[in-house]
Structure 1
Amino acid sequence: MTEEIKRLSQLIKQSQRIVFFGGAGVSTESQIPDFRSDDGLYGDKQAKRYPYPPETMLSHSFFEQHTKEFFEYYFDKMVYPDAKPNPAHIALAKLEQMGKLSAVITQNIDGLHQMAGSRRVCELHGSVHRNFCINCGKKYNLSQMLEQKDAGVPRCSCGGIIKPDVVLYEEPLDNDVMAGAISYIMAADLMIVGGTSLAVYPAAGLLQYYQGKELVLINKTQTPYDRRASLVIRDNIGQVMEQALSLLD
């Protein structure tokens, strides 16, 4: 047990309004690739498999102009229906049950926080589990979408295209979700940031609203906020959170 994890456990113990802000690294232990590592979505190994870069294929204009190709890429790279919550998701759900965690703010779209038991989750970039017809607004879950995976373009009973409720490039973040996230962050007495390089804006800019003293960063690589943090841990977030919680018993 490292001194950093003991320090994290102590910070958790003395806090009552913890907010966790997480990115793709939270889900890598659930076998969901991240974005910016060598094996990630934007890495050379993956990028060469498609004729366009990920930023293009996951854009609103590409969805409108090349809908079939969008869904081919989307189902291949963004949807992991067999993924299960890992120790990080489980630890955060426990913290909420203990009355210490106010909210999880996530950039992920996989729904694993809710699957682990977290109830207050701000999904900045939406969720693959929510889908809607762009024509009539009828809602569809992920299972219903997967049933149409081989059809090319998922279509509603009215004939309209079903769009995943995820934020694509060129689309704004949801104002209500952002407002909720800001509210939680401003009231927090401890901010734990994990599994994110804090390079994606406007999501990363949410940290400017944190007014507390203690900022904890758990990430394998450096972030722009490292100097501001009171504790930086370079390790797997699931292992770190699991060990920190074990010291609370």
Structure 2
Amino acid sequence: MDQEIERVITYLSRARSVLFITGAGISAESGIPTYRGIGGLYDGKTTDEGLPIEVALSGSMFQRRPELTWQHIHQIERACRGATFNRAHEILARVEECFERCWVLTQNVDGFHRTAGSKNVIDIHGDIHELRCTRCSFTERVVDYSNLEPCPNCPRCGALLRPEVVLFEEMLPPTKVMRLQQELAMGFDLVFSIGTSSLFPYIDGPVLEAVARKRPTVEINPGRTDISDVVDVKLRMGAVAACEALWAERDRWMAQRG
């Protein structure tokens, strides 16, 4: 493992631009259930209504039965309530200051990267704490849902509210996709994949593109994924342990940069 850490330190010392791609694994150490139906909450099970969670949390179900979709959104928020960012989020926020260009692309909807201090964040699936009206321009940030109605309505026009997240079957937000494409077109000297199973093409794509361009790639994940065999370095560690190990050597990789 020390040898692998040394290789990553060398990559960091040579990089001017870095992309961190994060998934549920980075927030798991904050007590957030990991995915696949929001992990421990639905893992391998159907909902009480006998539906796959992907159906209950789909755009079409929200159109037909918003109260059902909201019921499960409330369950997810309740399971995550009280959690906050961890040391890995903090370190990525501080790493941002060490490079000419540094971005986080995250699948997570918990908003932890921004609350930890990261400025360059593409939260491609949205933020569960941001609500918007389905009819007018009303938006609101809600820290937790404890005082939220089961199926909340807009205080301005009375229409249904929804969280600013991408439900199953829905398209990714065009503005965020465009931002990601712009940054990828510029290229990155180093790409990290942290705590994600890399199931979506817009998540493993940047890693595979970096591999094709012969740019160094690093995966931080205690388990195996579809990209484990193609990355340059695989750190079989949790996100917090790996980030702390690399941050502990910050002075060294910054000095090597010259």
C-alpha deviation, 1:41, in angstroms: 4.5
SS at match of 1:204: helix
Q: How far is 1:146 from its partner?
A: 4.3
Cα offset, 1:159, TM superposition: 0.9
Please list, as runs of the form range in 1=range in 2, the aligned pairs for 1:1-249 lying within 5 A after superposition. Answer: 2-36=2-36, 40-44=40-44, 47=46, 49=48, 51-78=50-77, 80-99=80-99, 102-143=102-143, 146-148=146-148, 151-157=149-155, 158-186=157-185, 187-210=187-210, 211-249=213-251
- The AA in structure 2 aligned to 1:95 is V
Unaligned runs of 5+ in 1: none
The alpha-carbon distance between structure 1 residues 3 and 100, as it changes in their structure 2 partners (threshold 3 A), is farther
Partner Cα separation in structure 2 for residue 38 and residue 163 of structure 1: 18
Q: Distance in 2 between matches of 1:135 and 1:181?
A: 27
Flag the 1:63–1:38 CA change in 2: closer, same or farther, 3 A.
closer
Judge conservation of contact 1:13–1:248 (CA < 8 Å) in 2.
no
Q: CA deviation at 1:38?
A: 11
1:182 is displaced (CA, Å) by 2.7
Mean alpha-carbon deviation: is it higher for 90-99 or for 178-187? 178-187
Q: Measure, in 2, the Cα distance between the counterparts of 1:202 and 1:13.
A: 27
TM-score normalised by L of structure 2: 0.87
Tell me how far 1:83 sits from its aligned partner. 1.6
Q: Tell me whether 58-67 or 194-203 shows the greater mean CA deviation.
A: 194-203
Q: Which runs of 5+ in 2 are unaligned?
A: 252-258
Q: State the alpha-carbon separation in 2 of the partners of residues 114 and 92 from structure 1.
A: 10
**Could you list the per-position Cα deviations for residues 98-137 of structure 1 after superposition, in whole angstroms to 9, with x for gaps in the alignment?**
2355100000111000011000000110111221111212
Q: Aligned residue pairs: how many?
A: 246
For residue 217 of structure 2, what is the amino acid of its counterpart? L
How far apart, in 1, do the equivalents of 2:33 and 2:144 lie? 24
The separation in 1 between residues aligned to 2:126 and 2:8, in whole angstroms, is 29
Q: CA–CA distance in 1 between the matches of 2:150 and 2:165? A: 18
For residue 254 of structure 2, what is the aligned residue in structure 1?
A: none
- How far the C-alpha of 1:73 sits from its partner, in A, is 0.8
Report if aligned partners of 2:77, 2:144 keep a CA contact under 8 Å in 1. no
TM-score by length of 1: 0.90
1:169 counterpart SS class: coil
Superposed displacement of residue 144, structure 1:
7.7
* Shift in Å, 1:201: 4.0
